[in-house]
Amino acid sequence: MSATAPQYGRGYRWRIALDAAARLATGAAAVLVIAILVIILAYMAYKGVGSLDVAFFTELPKPAGETGGGIVNAIAGSLIMLALAMAISVPVGILAAIYLSEFGTGLFAQILRFLTDVLAGIPSIVVGIFAYTLIVLPMRSFSGLAGGVALAIIMLPVVVRTSEETLRLVPQSLRDAGLAVGAPKWRVTIDVVLASAASGIATGVLLAVSRAMGETAPLLFTALGSTLWTTSLHKPMASIPAQIYSYSISPYDDWHRKAWAAAFTLVLLILALNLAVRYLTRSRHA
Amino acid sequence: MDTTVPSPQPSASLIGRLRPAHAGDFVFHAVTFVFAFSVLVLIALMLFEMLRGSWLTISRYGLAFVYGTDWNPPVERFGALPFVYGTIVSSGVALVVAVPISIAVALFVTYQAPMALRRPVISVVELLAAIPSVAFGLWGIFVLVPFMRDTVAPPFISALGWMPLFEGPSYGVGMLTSGLILAIMITPIVTAVSRDVLAAVPQHQRDGALALGATQWEAVRVVFQYALPGITGAIILGLARAVGETMAVTMVIGNRADINASLFAPGYSMASVIANEFPEANSKLYMSALIEVGVLLFLVSFGVRALAQLLVWRATRGRSIGREG
């Protein structure tokens, strides 16, 4: 805006100054947020990289006070529980999303959408309690199964809503074309709609995994954690985030170093997944 | 991430309605319906299980559970007010810090930043949301807590220590520290939703103001009046996030069931008492009390979420936005 007219009056300078201050403030806020992210990531890298070695990824935890060892059981535990969570939440989520996008026109579908958002907003610690009362109590044991189910409940709403969004992006003309050649709706939905939305749905699943991967609260009293190597779903199971928690509140320096290394590894994995999602969605939305 | 969903459209067009019905379609419809319905069942089951698990304390203490100030499990005294208080104060601090910053960032990327900068800034803020709670907690324990204890708190206490708000010694852990960590954690969601709400304000509102000679800032104020309900929704969504946040808070709030006016005093939150004490709850009553705290948390997050959704839906006319990812 050019300021050539002199008749703006006394308040003009004040208004311009206020405008400049507001612009400066918004810019400063953006710089601050970016700086905080950089500071946290840089510090994590600084503390984490030094503690990473081959043993960290291949050995079991050492008893308290001894140095060395690794968290291979936690890495395996996280992978197992995430796999279980995916096996539950992906089929359920995709079928629910198909209902919402292909049949969901009424008030009921609208309520289900809202409830899905509610489910996404339920604190993860509450999901942990639920999995505890549902699985740990009847089975009388903390277990990887309970942890996996808790993570599945966390992932489900993310899978449902991202899949529904992707399914809705499939042009109606594709559905019409399929129906016009005489295919039943279920065939059209599976062979045409789902097939053309597959990559988008996969992206949503990645997003859900990246979210579940860092969850600690729902695992505290479901999978509990363990210092042993176990692949049994009926026994307490270690996981990377729970391991970070127990190490970070411990009094041992070596465990603190392990916590940083594990956090650095975890954050790196999650950021990589997020960047992958970003890269995959870019081509579609651009 | 673009998180808009087109408003519901008729899924079957004319051609869909004219074609003959297939038996398979009925089955397919029914199967997908069952799975969609499972979301509702899951939420109902969750509420049922938790009410069942906490029935012991609900029936024994009634409402006194919520306003009781004494939490002393060994003698079976269960008053949850210290946790409710801690949740309110730490979330309040988080909102006071995060809301102005988040709205400023949203304004920056919507109106002011050079085009080339907008996507990168948005991406960076979203990456902040991807860092897990436990990693924030780790950073909090070893960086923020010592920093608060040694650098931030002493000058406050010596200058303003006469105020109850800044009273007492500083342990580093406490309300203020957890509030600040929460502020960092809710900034992405408040920013993202505010951005969506601002984007939904009709362009002519802003154009009109600018055409009348308003400065950019004055135009923003015009836009703001329009966006206010949606921004309120964004703030409430941020609040919901802060209320449910567990790990980072548990690691830096101090875990002491006291009600203390000072921001430097250690406290406890609803989520953190569950995380911290659930594994060691050694009696049925104790367990039931912790599950009841969970029920409270569930109800609060449900109510807050419903309110926010309503406001944001109104502001963006039916688009569902601001889900965390």
Give contacts of B 96-155 with A, CB under 8 A: 100-102, 104-105, 107-109, 112-113, 121, 123-128, 130-139, 141-143
CB contact A24 to B (< 8 Å): no
Q: What's the confidence (pLDDT) of residue B224?
A: 87
- Sequential DSSP letters for B14-48: HHHHHSPP-HHHHHHHHHHHHHHHHHHHHHHHHHH
Which tokens in the block code for residue B168?
A: 């007492």
Euclidean distance between CA atoms B43 and B39, whole angstroms: 6
Q: What is the mean pLDDT of chain B?
A: 86
- At B285-294, the pLDDT tens digits run 999 999 999 9
Query: In sequence order, what DSSP letters do the residues of A175-232 get, joined into one string?
Result: HHHHHHTT--HHHIIIIIIIHHHHHHHHHHHHHHHHHHHT--GGGTTTT---SS----
Tell me the mean pLDDT in the region B217-238.
Answer: 89
Using the beta-carbon criterion (under 8 Å), do B39 and A132 form an inter-chain contact?
A: no
Chain A from 48 to 87: CB within 8 A of any B CB: none
Higher-confidence residue: A216 or B24?
Answer: A216
ipTM above 0.85, yes or no: yes
Residue holding tokens 């010596």? Answer: B158
Residue of B nearest to A128 (CA): B275
Quick one: which of B194, B193, B211 has its CA closest to B107? B194
CA-based nearest distance A58→chain B, Å: 22
| Model pLDDT, residue A183 | 87
Pairing status of strand B77-78 against strand B71-72: antiparallel
> Residue B316 above 80 pLDDT?
no
Would the pLDDT of B2 be above 50? no
Residue-wise pLDDT for B108-124, tens only, equals 999 888 889 998 899 88
In the stretch 247-266 of chain A, residues with CB closer than 8 A to chain B read 248-249, 256, 259-260, 263, 266
Contact A23 B123 (CB under 8 A): no
Average pLDDT, chain A: 89
Average pLDDT for B212-239: 89
Domain boundaries, chain A: 5-51, 54-285
In this structure, the dihedral spanned by the alpha carbons of residues B156, A43, A259 and A53, taken in order and rounded to 10 degrees, is -160
Torsion region of A70: left, alpha or beta (phi above 0 gives left; psi -120 to 50 gives alpha): beta
For A64-122, the pLDDT digits (tens) are 777 888 889 999 999 999 999 999 999 999 999 999 999 888 888 888 998 998 899 89
The residue assigned the tokens 């909090």 is B140
Task: Using CA coordinates, name the residue in chain A closest to B309.
Answer: A114
A10 is written with which tokens?
Answer: 């006394």
Q: Which residue has the higher pLDDT, B225 or B101?
A: B101
Q: In chain B, what residues touch A256 (CB-CB under 8 Å)? A: 142
Q: Compute the distance between CA of residue B56 and CA of residue A243 in angstroms, rounded to an integer.
A: 33
- For residue B322, is pLDDT > 50? no
Sign of the dihedral defined by the CA atoms of residues B256, B269, B101, B161, in that order: negative
Res B144: pLDDT: 94
pLDDT (tens digit per residue) in A130-159: 999 999 999 999 999 999 999 999 999 999
Cα(B82)–Cα(B258) distance, integer angstroms: 6
Query: Residue A154 is encoded by which pair of tokens?
Result: 């966390």
* Nearest-by-CA chain B residue for A5: B213
Q: Which of B8, B50, B143 sits opposite A130 (nearest CB)?
A: B50
pLDDT score, position A7:
56
Phi, psi of B77 (to 5 degrees): -110, 120
Report, in angstroms and rounded to the nearest whole number, the Rg of chain B calculated over CA atoms: 24
CA distance B291 to B273: 10
Contacts of B199 (CB under 8 A, 6+ apart): B110
B306 touches chain A (CB under 8 A): yes
A30 secondary structure, DSSP code: H
Q: Please check the confidence at residue A47 and state whether its pLDDT lies above 80.
A: yes
B249: chain A residues, CB-CB within 8 Å: none
Nearest residue on chain A to B142, alpha-carbon basis: A248
Among candidate residues A194, A114, A277, the one with its CA nearest the CA of residue B5: A114
Q: What is the pLDDT of residue A10?
A: 64
Class of domain A54-285: mainly alpha
Question: What SS3 state is found at B318?
Answer: coil
Higher pLDDT, B219 or A12: B219
Q: So what's the pLDDT on residue A84?
A: 96
Whether B282 has its CB under 8 Å from any CB of chain A: the answer is no
As given in the structure block, the two tokens for residue B201 are 């304000």
pTM: 0.89
Closest CA to A208 of A97, A57, A55, A134: A97
Give the pLDDT confidence score for residue B17 in this predicted structure. Answer: 57
- Residue B69: pLDDT over 60: yes
Chain B contact present for A135, CB below 8 A: no
φ/ψ of B89, rounded to 5, equals -65, -45
Predicted confidence (pLDDT) at residue A224 exceeds the cutoff of 50: yes
The CATH architecture one would assign to domain B81-316 is Orthogonal Bundle (1.10)
